[in-house]
């Protein structure tokens, strides 16, 4: 997927996801937004890293600026609960 090779496209997609809504609805408010791939309980977690804000309009503008107008993707989710 060459589109996803572009870091500006990935950043736009990150801005298009309402992560807090996912936590509130799917996880019933139990959790925190992941802003990097390292969990906060690990020694190498960097709390200084800033996440992109949820901003669908800016995300759409960023995708358009990169020439992305008809983007589709598959999202995989586990069909069972996990602790």
* Angle at the Cα of 28 from the Cα atoms of 22 and 30, rounded to 5 degrees: 90
> CA dist 9 to 12, 15, 42, 63, Å?
5, 10, 29, 6
Query: Does the pLDDT value for residue 7 go beyond 90?
Result: yes
pLDDT at 69 over 80: yes
Give the C-alpha separation, 24 to 20, whole Å.
6
Q: Where are the domains of the chain?
A: 2-59
For residue 83, pLDDT beyond 70: no
The 10s digit of each residue's pLDDT in 15-60 is 999 999 999 998 899 888 888 888 888 999 998 999 999 999 999 9
Which pLDDT band holds residue 76 (cuts at 50, 70, 90)? confident
């Amino acid at each position: 997927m060459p589109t996803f090779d572009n870091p500006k496209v990935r950043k736009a997609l990150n801005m298009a996801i309402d992560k807090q809504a996912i936590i509130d609805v799917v996880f019933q408010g139990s959790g925190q937004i992941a802003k990097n791939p390292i969990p906060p309980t690990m020694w190498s977690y960097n709390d200084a890293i800033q996440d992109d804000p949820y901003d669908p309009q800016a995300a759409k503008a960023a995708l358009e600026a990169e020439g992305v107008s008809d983007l589709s993707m598959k999202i995989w989710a586990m069909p069972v609960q996990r602790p």
